[in-house]
Structure formats: C-alpha cells, structure tokens
Amino acid sequence: MIRNRERADEILDAIVRLNIETGRAVSSGLVERYLQRACSAATIRNVMKALETEGYLEQPHTSAGRLPTDRGYRRHVDRMLARWPLERGNLPRPLAREVEAGLTRHTGSHAMVKALAGMLSRLTTNISIILGPSWEQVRCQRVELYPKLQGRILMVLVLENAMVRTTLADPGEDLAPRTVEDAGRLLSERIAGRTVAEIRDGVLASFRPGVTAASRCASQLADQGRDLFQDFESGDLELEGVANVLGEPEFGAPDTLRNLIRFLESPRSIREALKLLDREADGELGVWIGGENPVNDLREFTLVSHRFPLEGREGILAVLGPRRMPYQRAVTSIHTLRDGLRSLS
C-alpha cells in the first residue's frame, strides 16, 4: 500500500511524461534524473513497484522499465484537469498569434471547419477530427403559406442564415386567403426560435386542431409539412494529421493500425462516435483513454473532445492519438481554439 500518495503521484507523473516523450518503458534511473534526484533511487524503485501492484503501471517484461496503464494515464489526466482552473496552460505566443490570425481569416467562411482541423493537428501533433455544427441545430423563424392552383398551398420554411425550404401541401378544400394567412401565423408561433431537430422530434406532431378553420388548416399542414424538417445535412467533417502518428511505435502492431484505418475510413462511424462520446461527456471536455472507450475500434487509443461554438451553433473538436498523447498540449489547444471562436461570435 502506498503511504505517501503525493510522492507516488509525482513519480507517476514523471513516468507518464517520460513515456510520452520517449515512447518507451521508463526506468527508475531515468525518473531519478528527471526529478533531479529529489528522491533516492531506492525510493523510486519501491514506489514504482507499489504503483504496479495498484494497477497504475505495468512491466512489459522482466528487467524492463515500466509503462503507464490506462489507469495510470487516467490518474495523471484527472490530476491535471483538477488543477486546470488554477494552472491552465497557454500556447507559446507565436502559436497563439497563428491561431488568432487563422480564426480571423476564416471568420464567416465555409472553410472554417477545415481550417480548424489544420490548426488543431499542427498544435497537437496528433490526428484532429472536427465535426462542424449540424444544420439540424439551425433555428426556424417562420412559415409562410401561399395559395396555389387547385387548392394547393406552397409552404415556405424560413430559417436563420437566409435558408429557405419549400413543399406543396393539399388541405383538401378551398380556403379563404384570410384563413390561410391565420394558419401560417399559428404555425409560425409554434416553430419560431426552435431548432429543426426540436420541431422534427415533436413540436409539430403535438399540434392539435382547434375549433376555427385556421387552426384546423394549421394542424393539417403541420402533418403534411413534416418533409420540411427531414434530410438536413449533417455537419461538415474534416480530419488532419494521420501522418503525425503513423511513425509512432504503437502503430507497428498490425492490429492497431488496422483498427485506426477502419475507423477513419468510415465518416459515418466517426460522426456516430463523436456524438456518442459528446453525449457521455454532456457537452463538456471528455477524455477517453484506451479501454475506457466505448467505441471498440478506439480502445487502443486516446480521444479528447469538446464542443465548440460557431455561428450560433455547436460542433465538436477532437484529438485522436496513442494513449501516450501529450494530454496537456491537447487540452490547451482545444481550449485555445474554443476561446478564440467564442471571441469572434
């Protein structure tokens, strides 16, 4: 049992950092030099053995140094995040200026998601995955109704960002222009300010016909107009930096490389994985290390993700790499991009 937990955490942090830097098992002698001989070699060996017993370290083979386990990385990350509000890291000033210039240059541009992928990959030296805001998060402004020939009505859905969708509906009877106008007002009151997803998932389905001709018309058109809220595009998906990690020793194992390629070659899998992990993190920063990951193909990797704001909607920033990812750099980079985007909104 470890008695001096503070010292054990200091040694565990040293092992994690040295493993991240070298990609190799870490010896007690290397830890002693890293800590500038603040602890004796014998103390370090004893603590490393205790950390191994508690499941924080593992020894690849006899006489080798130690490697952090998923549990060891988790303790290191949790301690880092607990200190984050007080000891938050910052990018070096040249990189911070590069991020600021890149965000400003692409403000309002459809190329922003691609630009974010490039910046996050360079900042973290790992794989960046950016899922842009879904159009399902766009808010609706109003419905306009226009009577056409043979009693049909043209329904025009007006959304923010000057988006418009149309469909033809048939109320089954000729209606007075005033009735159609009032029906449009009732529908607009129901949907104004709500997202496409909210409306599709129940807002219009709950519309009940009232006693007036306008309310009966609105109810019927609400049912016929559901196509207006279907088949919206998912957010743009961009990834960069696969070459950043392929030279790492972890990818010398065929199964590891195969799992990575299988995951990255399926945009649908990437979208579903990011949405699943985002839900588990409840929109906050999420870090999934190795076997913690609910996505089977990612159980040999680490993925860090967080929502980001863009033009009033939200997308997902993610960094994917080996379990020995430089966690502080990844979290710092994600926070820097999020802060920069918030300042532009």
Residue 1 has pLDDT above 70, yes or no: no
User: What is the distance between the alpha carbons of residues 125 and 121, in angstroms, rounded to a whole number?
Assistant: 5
* pLDDT attached to residue 229: 81
Minimum mean pLDDT among 54-58, 133-137, 321-325: which range?
A: 133-137
User: What is the distance between the alpha carbons of residues 245 and 281, in angstroms, rounded to a whole number?
Assistant: 25
Averaged pLDDT, 221-245: 85
Percent over 90 (pLDDT), the chain: 59
Q: Bridge partners of 130? A: 238, 317
CATH code, 5-81: 1.10.10.10
DSSP SS3 for 265: coil
Q: Where are the domains of the chain?
A: 5-81, 92-134+234-344, 136-229
* Equal CATH topology for 5-81 and 136-229: no
Q: Centre a 10 Å sphere on the Cβ of residue 308 and count the other Cβ atoms it contains.
A: 22
CA atoms within 13 A on the CB side of 281: 23
Q: Bridge partners of 313? A: 310
* pLDDT attached to residue 137: 79
Residue 233 has pLDDT above 70, yes or no: no
Concatenated DSSP letters of 284-320: S-EEEEGGG-SSGGGTTEEEEEEEEEETTEEEEEEEE
With bands split at pLDDT 50, 70 and 90, how would you rate the model's confidence at 198?
Answer: confident
Q: Cβ(273)–Cβ(47) under 8 Å?
A: no
Q: Bridge partners of 68? A: 57
Residue 145 has pLDDT above 70, yes or no: yes
Residue 205 has pLDDT above 80, yes or no: no
Q: Cβ(2)–Cβ(54) under 8 Å?
A: yes
92-134+234-344 topology per CATH: Beta-Lactamase (3.30.450)
* pLDDT attached to residue 331: 96
- In tens, the pLDDT along 249-287 reads 888 888 999 999 999 999 989 999 999 999 999 989 999
- In tens, the pLDDT along 153-182 reads 999 999 887 778 899 998 888 889 999 999
With bands split at pLDDT 50, 70 and 90, how would you rate the model's confidence at 58?
Answer: very high
Averaged pLDDT, 195-211: 77
**CB-based burial, 152-164: b 16+ in 10 Å, e otherwise:** ebebbbbbeeeee
Architecture of domain 136-229: 2-Layer Sandwich (3.30)
